Amino acid sequence: MTYSKYLLNHIVRHGEAISRLKAELRQPDAWGDENDPIHAVSFDAANFVWSFLASYGLEKITEDRSLRNHIAEQIIASLRAYPELNTDQLKDDIYQL
| Residue 29 CB coordination number (10 Å) | 8
The region of weakest confidence among 36-40, 50-54, 79-83, 87-91 is 87-91
pLDDT at 95 over 60: no
pLDDT tens digits along 43-86: 999 999 999 999 999 888 888 999 999 999 999 999 999 888 87
